[in-house]
Amino acid sequence: MALSLAAKYGCCELIAELVTKGADANFPNNSQTPLHLAAKEGCIKTIEALLEARAKVDVENDRLQTPLHLAAENGQVEAIEVLVKSKAKVNAMDNNRQRPLHLAAENGKIDAVKALIKGGAKIGSLEYNGNTALHFAAKGGYTDIINLLIEKHPKINLGNKEEKTALHLAAENGHLEAVNALIGIKVVNLNSRDNMSRTPLHLAAGGGSLDVFKALISAEEIELNPIDDSGMIPLHMAAEGPLNKTDIIKLLVDKTPQIINAVDNKDRTALHLAADRTALNDEDTEGQSVKYLIEAGAQVNLKDKLGNTPLHYASERHIAAVQILLSNNPDINDKNEDSYTPLFIAAKSKNVNIVQALIDKGADVNIPDRYLQNPLHLCSNGDYYESDKDKIVEMLLKAKADPNVKHDEGYTPLHMAASVGNNTVVKMLIQRGAQIDAKNSNSETPLYIAVKDKKLSTTKILLERDANPDITKVNQNTLEKKTALEVAIEVSDFNAARLIIVAGAKITPDAFCNLSIDQVSNKDFYNPLETLCSMIRLLHTSFELSNFDKAAQNVSQLKEHMSHEIEYVLERVRKKIQEYIIINDDNQYEPVNIVKYSPQKYSDHKLATQIIMSLKELKEYIRNEQGPDQSLYDLYKRLIDQFDEEIRGINKIAEITSPFQYLKHQSEEEGEDEDALSDGPISNIVSFLNIGNVADLFQASPQNPFAIFTKNAFIAYKNNTMVPQAEMMKSDSNISDDATKLAGGGAAEIDDSIT
């Protein structure tokens, strides 16, 4: 290590002292010997000192490079001369078969090249890829080295393994002086072909250097439209190239205008390629190449072998090219071989601006591909990180995309959105009329798929919008039927199972037998109304299945669980009731601090209604059952006894949490004139049109008189048959009477029914 550092920094006296004390002059450090380091830095005295200390002049590092390689690579002329004088192998090869001359030429070290040639370097030697020193000099644009090598070794048209000559490499890399130097040699072949049959003009067009292209196109013997193995001419290369230079395209078209619609082996014109490449090109953000080609006569509706028009290509990425093409009357709904329209491609690429541009020009949003997918299918399956897809869904729906169209496996867009848990799109689709219980080819509904894929929040949204949890999936091979509840239990998603039970799903024997009672009726679940509802419904099922052998274990678990948890759950229910109502001096319930409508209030409205309905169903079952299990019956009576004082409060929640009833209440509190229509429930109904599916609000409690009142008001509003608010709003006492008659779940009737 000490000797290597001394060599690197030219400490000749220290080197001599270290060698005298026994240091090995050939000991490597990271595969480099002291002589490698000294040669790289050009420390002549150090090199001489090491050579005197018997350092090996041709020692190799891990890349098989000798000290002469490093001296040549770094242009250390004196070091080269000392090493050559010390019998270093001037044509030694490293692991890439590169010789010192290759490295000197590659790095533009003209004096090192001269020294190596003087020392006997073979000018025409080839490295691993068949490149000579001339190839390296041309690629780097080192004109002085090019001239020197041609003078010493005039094989200017020699190709490497890719059959590229020095002129190919100079043109490809945009080196004007090097190109001019090579063109000036009489024997140079201006039209030589590489292994893809591309000439230097092809590569210059693709490389994008206008000056190099001008130099080549001005040469007398240049072929203007050579065709390579892929059928491309320089015009295609210019259109496809990374810089997509419009000036190069203009030069070619001006000289040979007949090539404007020439096609390659894939039937692509320059316009196809320019429309595609423009999308990746920061130099042509305005789509000037596309614009010029069209002005020069390029046809906008020509198709390649896959049926793509230029608009198909542009629609993937570049708005400017799309806008230019759209202004030239393309067939906007043309399909390629996959039945993709430009709109389909834009949607697939999640390009919001292009989708909007195409829709604005009249693109048909419902044209499907070969698998019957339309753009709405594609964008409905975006996850949390794909907000652009959500925006496109909104655009498509506004443009009348069909939310119920099915692809070849029967999936609707709602199925797709449910499968990835995209709740934003789920809500949009339902708002726009998506059939919530549509079945795919496997008879799976969106709810079934959401449950199967463990998308809990999506499951909740679908159930809140009245998705039917009892629709069964039928296995076409075994004819086995399975409900959403059964699949929830199968995948151990007991939170989903709880939601499904609360929503009123039929609890089948198979489902009940596989339930984990403690998890499904979890006392710690965030909303005690859900817990209570699931307990009531499970109790009902346990009566029905108490003699069913497979269910016996879960019936027993349910008894134990409910016995322990009823008091705790009811205490939480009492606290929940206190969030909404108080008891006044007349022992009547009144709303508490309801500021504005929220989805949570609507959710509680549905839960409270479901509890009342489930309890009534349980009561009716026991009344009609001849011999219910005595221990279960005792448990039921215990529930009723403890539940009696809460039932009126829950019923009140079902009434006051209706957003429409709240509006009426607020209006009265503020003391507004009954005849005023500005803030009443009828005039305010418009403000609820964007909060979800309004029909769901009506269906939440079909027996709730306020829901009926609001539904009628809404219909009147839609039909422009508004009636005065004073006529619609009766006195509180009348409404209370109507509530008792219509609800079937009013306080008085329920108190009667559970005694």
How would residue 605 be classed by pLDDT, with cut points 50, 70 and 90? confident
pLDDT in the model for residue 406: 96
Q: Are residues 652 and 550 in the same domain?
A: yes
Cα–Cα distance measured from residue 685 to residue 718, given in angstroms and rounded to the nearest whole number: 10
In a domain, 349, yes or no: no
> Could you count the other beta carbons within 10 Å of the beta carbon of residue 634?
12
Nearest to 442 by CA among 434, 433, 452: 452
How would residue 187 be classed by pLDDT, with cut points 50, 70 and 90? very high
Average the pLDDT over each of 99-108, 245-254, 704-713 and give the range with the smallest value.
704-713
Contact 500, 484 (CB under 8 A): yes
Please indicate whether residue 172 or residue 549 has the higher confidence score (pLDDT).
172
Q: Measured between alpha carbons, how far apart are the two ends of the chain, in Å?
A: 98
- Domain final position from 657, 685, 712: 657
State which residues form the domain around 683.
674-755
How much is the average pLDDT of 87-95? 97
Cα–Cα distance measured from residue 691 to residue 6, given in angstroms and rounded to the nearest whole number: 79
How would residue 589 be classed by pLDDT, with cut points 50, 70 and 90? low
Q: Are residues 625 and 547 in the same domain?
A: yes
Burial of 132-141, coded b for 16+ CB within 10 Å and e otherwise, reads: bbbbbbbbbb
Q: Are residues 568 and 647 in the same domain?
A: yes
Both structure tokens of 461:
């949204």
Which residues, at least 6 apart from 175, have a Cβ–Cβ distance to it below 8 Å? 138, 140, 141, 143, 212
> Is the pLDDT confidence value at 745 over 50?
no
- Rg (the chain; Cα; Å): 42
> Is the pLDDT confidence value at 210 over 60?
yes
Cα–Cα distance measured from residue 719 to residue 721, given in angstroms and rounded to the nearest whole number: 5
Q: Residue length, the chain?
A: 755
In a domain, 232, yes or no: no
> Is the pLDDT confidence value at 392 over 80?
yes
Q: Are residues 573 and 631 in the same domain?
A: yes
CA atoms within 13 A on the CB side of 451: 35
Both structure tokens of 235:
């015009």
Average model confidence (pLDDT) for the chain? 82
Q: pTM of the full predicted structure? A: 0.76
Going by DSSP bridges, is the β-strand pair 481-482/589-591 parallel, antiparallel, or unpaired?
A: unpaired
Name the residue with tokens 């309890």: 615
How would residue 663 be classed by pLDDT, with cut points 50, 70 and 90? very low
Both structure tokens of 342:
């430009």
Nearest to 152 by CA among 160, 144, 141, 161: 144
pLDDT in the model for residue 234: 96
Q: Are residues 652 and 690 in the same domain?
A: no
Both structure tokens of 186:
């009489």
Q: How deeply is 346 buried, as exposed, middle or buried, from its count of CB atoms within 10 A (0-12, 13-18, 19+)?
A: buried
pLDDT in the model for residue 549: 66
Region of residue 5 (left: phi > 0; alpha: psi -120 to 50; beta: else): alpha
Cα–Cα distance measured from residue 688 to residue 694, given in angstroms and rounded to the nearest whole number: 7
Q: Are residues 637 and 693 in the same domain?
A: no
Using one digit for the tens of pLDDT, what is the confidence trace for 487-499? 999 998 988 998 9
- Most confident segment among 10-19, 418-427, 511-520: 418-427
Q: Are residues 585 and 696 in the same domain?
A: no
Contact 336, 315 (CB under 8 A): no
How would residue 750 be classed by pLDDT, with cut points 50, 70 and 90? very low
Q: Percent of the chain, pLDDT > 90?
A: 52
> Could you count the other beta carbons within 10 Å of the beta carbon of residue 21?
8
Average the pLDDT over each of 106-110, 193-197, 340-344, 461-465 and give the range with the smallest value.
461-465
Q: Are residues 724 and 629 in the same domain?
A: no
How much is the average pLDDT of 669-696? 37
Please indicate whether residue 477 or residue 675 has the higher confidence score (pLDDT).
477
Nearest to 653 by CA among 731, 721, 596, 594: 594
In a domain, 733, yes or no: yes
In a domain, 707, yes or no: yes
Cα–Cα distance measured from residue 463 to residue 451, given in angstroms and rounded to the nearest whole number: 11
pLDDT in the model for residue 384: 58
Side chain identity at 162, as an amino acid letter? E
How would residue 2 be classed by pLDDT, with cut points 50, 70 and 90? low
Q: Are residues 653 and 679 in the same domain?
A: no
How much is the average pLDDT of 557-561? 79
In a domain, 569, yes or no: yes
> Is the pLDDT confidence value at 694 over 60?
no
Handedness of CA 456, 457, 460, 462 (dihedral sign): negative
Phi, psi of 322 (to 5 degrees): -60, -45
Cα–Cα distance measured from residue 425 to residue 4, given in angstroms and rounded to the nearest whole number: 67
Cα–Cα distance measured from residue 229 to residue 554, given in angstroms and rounded to the nearest whole number: 74
Handedness of CA 509, 513, 515, 518 (dihedral sign): positive
Residue 29 DSSP symbol = B
Phi, psi of 590 (to 5 degrees): -135, 150
Q: Are residues 680 and 600 in the same domain?
A: no
Using one digit for the tens of pLDDT, what is the confidence trace for 417-434? 999 999 999 999 999 999
Q: Own/partner pairs for 215-221, CB < 8 Å, 24+ apart? A: 215/176, 215/179, 215/180, 215/183, 216/171, 216/179, 216/183, 216/190, 217/251, 217/252, 217/255, 219/183, 219/190, 221/190, 221/191
Which residues, at least 6 apart from 189, have a Cβ–Cβ distance to it below 8 Å? 157, 165, 167
pLDDT in the model for residue 12: 60
How much is the average pLDDT of 724-728? 35
How much is the average pLDDT of 653-659? 69
589 sits in which H/E element: strand 589-591
Q: Are residues 553 and 620 in the same domain?
A: yes
CA atoms within 13 A on the CB side of 561: 22
How much is the average pLDDT of 714-730? 41
> Is the pLDDT confidence value at 194 over 50?
yes
For the chain, the domain total comes to 2
- Domain final position from 657, 688, 714: 657
Q: Are residues 544 and 618 in the same domain?
A: yes
How would residue 571 be classed by pLDDT, with cut points 50, 70 and 90? confident
> Is the pLDDT confidence value at 684 over 80?
no
> Is the pLDDT confidence value at 664 over 60?
no
Phi, psi of 187 (to 5 degrees): -85, 0
Cα–Cα distance measured from residue 168 to residue 202, given in angstroms and rounded to the nearest whole number: 9
Residue 725 DSSP symbol = H
Average the pLDDT over each of 55-64, 273-282, 323-332, 664-673 and give the range with the smallest value.
664-673
Using one digit for the tens of pLDDT, what is the confidence trace for 308-361? 999 999 999 889 999 999 999 999 999 999 999 999 999 999 999 999 999 999
How would residue 20 be classed by pLDDT, with cut points 50, 70 and 90? low
In a domain, 358, yes or no: no
Question: What are the distances in angstroms from CA 44 to CA 72, 92, 360, 489, 733?
Answer: 14, 21, 75, 82, 112
Q: How deeply is 478 buried, as exposed, middle or buried, from its count of CB atoms within 10 A (0-12, 13-18, 19+)?
A: exposed
pLDDT in the model for residue 1: 60
pLDDT in the model for residue 593: 57
- Domain final position from 657, 685, 717: 657
How would residue 507 be classed by pLDDT, with cut points 50, 70 and 90? confident
Nearest to 50 by CA among 84, 8, 92: 8
In a domain, 645, yes or no: yes
pLDDT in the model for residue 754: 32
**Alpha-helix runs per DSSP H in 153-282:** 166-172, 176-183, 200-207, 210-217, 234-240, 246-255, 270-278
DSSP string for residues in 632-685: HHHHHHHHHHHHHHHHHHHHHHHHHTSHHHHHHHHHHHTT--TT--SSSTTGGG
Using one digit for the tens of pLDDT, what is the confidence trace for 458-475? 999 999 888 999 999 887
> Is the pLDDT confidence value at 692 over 50?
no
In a domain, 501, yes or no: no
Question: What are the distances in angstroms from CA 271 to CA 207, 299, 303, 321?
Answer: 18, 8, 11, 10
Nearest to 456 by CA among 517, 499, 501: 499
pLDDT in the model for residue 710: 45
